[in-house]
Amino acid sequence: MEQDVITRARAWLAEDPDSETREELARIIEAGDLDSLTERFSGTLRFGTAGLRGELGAGPMRMNRAVVIRAAAGLAAYLTDRGDGGGLVVIGYDARYKSEEFARDTAAVMTGAGLRAAVLPRALPTPVLAFAVRHLGAVAGVEVTASHNPPRDNGYKVYLGGGSQIVPPADGEIAARIDAVGPLASVPRPDGGWEILGEEVLTAYLERTDTVLTPGTPRTARTVHTALHGVGTETLLAAFARAGFPAPVPVPEQAEPDPAFPTVAFPNPEEPGAMDLAFATARRVQPDLVIANDPDADRCAVAVPDESADGGAGWRMLSGDETGALLAAHLVHKGARGTFAESIVSSSLLGRIAEAAELGYEETLTGFKWIARVEGLRYGYEEALGYCVDPEGVKDKDGITAALLVAELASELKAQGRTLADLLDDLAVTHGLHATGQLSVRVKDLSLIADAMRRLRERPPVELAGLSVVSTEDLAEGSATLPPTDGLRYRLAGAYRARVIVRPSGTEPKLKCYLEVVIPVADATGLAGAKGEARGVLEALKRDMSAAAGI
């Protein structure tokens, strides 16, 4: 076994095109570090609906140039086999370590395979790439990004023609072609022949962002913005300037791209501490709202003034469900027609809003690869801060256009002497207080997640937070409306209409439990009590789910 791992490592070393990872692997082999070798050569990064994502480094279980070249070759073979040979593949990238190199390797492989490749002019938000796929009539798009993962990660996201991310069976068919790729030397990689797109593609995207707003609406909301060391600052500021909003005040320490993400433990607005510098800037500037993008700017977080907020010193982060409901209500007010959609782990409030407006409503599996495919989609969101407010322009989550729409809503409310928090209270009185929460456990050993899911399937809880579990649904079995996925859904007895969904994260080493309770609210005087009651039930659900999962 040991010799087999060393043999595989030496074979990898012999064809690795990257001097940096060659040196890394040579040191590991020379040191005889079998644990590290086994970790890197115990399998391969598997290509799925999220493409590839993993830690940078040498070996088939890491993100590196060799893995990317094979992935690109497999994708090129898939496109050629389905009759898209000679078509255009648009390639974008963020500002993470190795992203530009991976984009260049992808362009070379596509060109060598007879496809036309075009690379975005520089590191830009993922929504610009998703837009470009549709705008340029491409047969596929590739975005090199690990979104909000830790600094040492990178990833490879694939879109097919039409601008939606891949879903089964395309992922399996591409994975099979990746597995069939021979030695790297057999993959043609010319030194040139692909196009570097000009600024006109970004200009076209920005022109499209103009269309998400209603002409003549107030544009007065004052904003603090953080890109969390990602690529969002330039594009968001340009979009806000075009729309006529006051220029957002960037968080200076986080405005420029930096792959080390030096001021945050994790570059994710949802993570503790990630918004501290933004809140410090907000206390100095006193804006109407704080907006944060994740590093590739496809997600949008919103914070509002709240003197009672814990930890934010006067600011409270809205949950993804709260922002999702606000945007839905705003679109309904503007006369939106079509279908509203969300992932199954998001708040059921969207369904209530859609029903009241006599709009179509659908639930999908987690991920915009599913939401974007809903027939007649007008608006889609998921609780992880992802919002699709312009599906005809970008069939994916887009943190730039979502930020614009939030700013428009805040401006309109400001003109009425009201706030986003006031509108949330209105929605609670109209539809009931839909309170959501999450238990999220990050692990180093992925087997702990598999063990937890097995434990829950073998010994499902019969009571949570003092409420009887009236139904247990194993999402792995699929249904008439949902394809199979690894997850469990519990519905609880009682007036709270409580719901719990448990699933492994698709992009991070986390087990996630999504919680919801609905508290009836007769009028505004009952809101404070309802919010306190909801907090108590959610905390009890977290405690009991942690015990049931053993994690």
The pLDDT tens digits of the residues spanning 154-191 come to 999 999 998 889 999 999 999 999 999 999 999 999 99
Q: How confident is the model at residue 48 (pLDDT cuts 50, 70, 90)?
A: confident
Tell me whether residue 14 is in a domain. Answer: no
Tell me whether residue 4 is in a domain. Answer: no
Q: 546 an active-site residue?
A: no
Domain boundary among the residues 149, 175, 198 is at 198
Q: What is the pLDDT of residues 182-226, one digit of tens each?
A: 999 999 999 999 999 999 999 999 999 999 999 999 999 999 999
Tell me whether residue 271 is in a domain. Answer: yes
Mean per-residue pLDDT, 59-78: 98
Phi, psi of 129, rounded to the nearest 5 degrees: -65, -45
d(CA 348, CA 328): 12
Same domain, 398 and 452: no
Same domain, 176 and 266: no
Same domain, 405 and 465: no
d(CA 56, CA 258): 16
Same domain, 327 and 249: yes
Phi, psi of 509, rounded to the nearest 5 degrees: -80, 70
Burial 508-538 (b: 16+ CB within 10 A, else e): beebbbbbbbbbebeeeebbeebbebbeebb
Mean per-residue pLDDT, 54-66: 98
Q: What average pLDDT does the chain have?
A: 96
Q: What is residue 360's three-state secondary structure?
A: strand
Same domain, 510 and 492: yes
Tell me whether residue 342 is in a domain. Answer: yes
**Beta-bridge partners for 93:** 144
Mean per-residue pLDDT, 426-440: 97
Which CATH number belongs to the domain containing residue 462 in this structure? 3.30.310
Nearest to 437 by CA among 513, 492, 510, 380: 513
d(CA 262, CA 251): 14
Tell me whether residue 31 is in a domain. Answer: no
Q: How confident is the model at residue 1 (pLDDT cuts 50, 70, 90)?
A: low
Mean per-residue pLDDT, 470-497: 94
- CA 206 to chain CA centroid, Å, is 21
From the number of C-beta atoms within 10 Å of its C-beta (0-12, 13-18, 19+), residue 228 rates as buried
CA dihedral 235, 239, 240, 244 (to 10 degrees): 150
Same domain, 437 and 490: yes
Cα 353–Cα 359–Cα 363 angle in degrees, nearest 5: 75
> Which range of residues forms the domain containing residue 181?
40-198
**Beta-bridge partners for 436:** 516
Mean per-residue pLDDT, 102-112: 99
Same domain, 270 and 408: yes
d(CA 26, CA 461): 50
Contact of 469 with 491, CB cutoff 8 Å: yes
Count of domains for the chain: 3
Q: How confident is the model at residue 506 (pLDDT cuts 50, 70, 90)?
A: confident
Q: How confident is the model at residue 311 (pLDDT cuts 50, 70, 90)?
A: low
Q: What is residue 196's three-state secondary structure?
A: strand
- Given this model, what pLDDT does residue 539 score? 97
Q: Say if residue 357's pLDDT is above 80.
A: yes
Which CATH number belongs to the domain containing residue 46 in this structure? 3.40.120.10
Tell me whether residue 1 is in a domain. Answer: no
Catalytic residue among 19, 42, 99, 147: 147
